[in-house]
Amino acid sequence: MIKFVASIGRTVLAILASVGRISTYVGQTLMHMVRGPFYVKEFLQALLSIGYYSLPVVGLTAFFTGGALALQIYSGGARFSAETVVPSIVAIGMLRELGPVLGGLMVAARVASSVAAEIGTMKVTEQIDALVTLSTHPMKYLTVPRVLAATLSVPILVGVGDVIGIMGGYVVGTTRLGFNPATYLHNTVEFLEFWDVASGLVKGAAFGFIVAVMGCYYGMNSGRGAQGVGQATKSAVVASSVMILAANYLLTEAFFSA
């Protein structure tokens, strides 16, 4: 019994230690954001890699999700003779929840893994030590540009994904479910409010920050060798995904709680 309680205690302490280390890393990242120097070239490269190159996977995910959502809502609404709510629910669902969350998870799968693998490989090959030798702070050169790029680009990805997702619902609604195109668009816009759009963009910025910080943190703390880099990559994706879902609940509670 004592061994069982001790194992639980060790697990809890390990979790708290990890939370403390990540919190310290986040604080250091925010501190370095407001201090020079700022590496513009690294920022632009990260903006291209994180933002532009993530657009296809986010767009495809949003399109098929919007189409599937329209089918499901129509099927459920038909039980209550409420098929007309399909355009509004698709739009609200994509803007508030599915667009930001699925976009964040797709970016986490693509970006957190690549960032962790890249920085982890740099650590294994002692390139980070070389940066220190050249009087270049690793966090300023590696972490800050990626975090800023993700925080700025993911909301744009979410916005584009929202539009594509609503378009997916429109295509399915007008071709498969018999909706009039003009009526569908009118019902889509009529019931939307400012916070439906703004909340999704704020979530996108928060999710982008989480993804980049987790990728950089686990990359910086990668173990030696290929196994260490692989473990860092896996941990970055898992941690990013869990934190995105947790942050989504907290932000939804803050924006829309009664």
**pLDDT, average across residues 181-210:** 88
Tens digit of pLDDT for each residue in 30-67? 888 888 788 888 889 999 988 888 899 999 999 999 99
pLDDT at 258: 57
Residue 13 lies in a domain: no
At residue 78, does pLDDT exceed 80? no
**pLDDT, average across residues 114-137:** 85
Residue 228 lies in a domain: yes
pLDDT at 249: 93
**pLDDT, average across residues 111-128:** 87
H-helix or E-strand containing 64?
helix 55-77
**Residues 217, 22: Cα–Cα separation, whole Å:** 7
At residue 5, does pLDDT exceed 80? no
Residue 4 lies in a domain: no
pLDDT at 102: 92
**pLDDT, average across residues 159-177:** 90
Question: Can you give the pTM of this predicted structure?
Answer: 0.90
pLDDT at 243: 92
Residue 244 lies in a domain: yes
Residue 148 lies in a domain: yes
**17 or 149: which leads in pLDDT:** 149
Range of the domain at 208: 44-253
At residue 186, does pLDDT exceed 90? no
Work out whether the CA dihedral 166, 168, 174, 179 comes out positive or negative.
negative
- Tokens for 127? 């390139």
Residue 149 lies in a domain: yes
Residue 6 lies in a domain: no
- Tokens for 257? 């709680």
pLDDT band at residue 189 under the 50/70/90 scheme: confident
Return the top range by mean pLDDT from 18-32, 51-65, 72-86.
51-65
Domain total in the chain: 1
Tens digit of pLDDT for each residue in 210-253? 999 999 999 888 878 778 888 889 989 999 999 999 999 999 99
**Residues 164, 130: Cα–Cα separation, whole Å:** 44
Residue 193 lies in a domain: yes
